[in-house]
Amino acid sequence: MVTINLSNLALQDIEGNSIENNFDLHKIIGNAFYFNATDIEMLDVAKKLYETGELVCEENKLSIFRDFVQSDRCPIVAFVKEAVLKELKM
């Protein structure tokens, strides 16, 4: 199992300065992933992400989440996607 904490993403502006993250981005991402999940296991992953801020899944399922974050179905802007993918070690 892989556990990645997305509740406190490190966001940066164009110059690399830290941006205060006052949003529950893990809830926005978790909710969107919930509505795009294609199986029960990933539905549970989305619920846990929404509730705790932690992405918990098998290593082989991580690519499903990565693909979702990179897709147009994920309702977050590119610089936030970049921070998420950094946490996923992409």
pLDDT at 90: 58
Q: Give residues with Cβ within 8 angstroms of 45, minimum separation 6.
A: 33, 37, 55, 56, 57, 61, 65
3-state secondary structure of 84: helix
Angle, helices 78-87/62-70, rounded to nearest 10 degrees: 160
The reported pTM is 0.87
Q: What is the pLDDT of residue 23?
A: 80
Q: What is the pLDDT of residue 56?
A: 93
Single-letter amino acid code for the residue at 88:
L
Per-residue tokens: 52: 């705790």
How confident is the prediction along the chain (90 residues), in pLDDT tens digits per residue?
A: 899 999 988 899 999 999 987 788 999 999 999 999 999 999 999 999 999 999 999 888 899 999 999 999 999 999 999 999 999 985
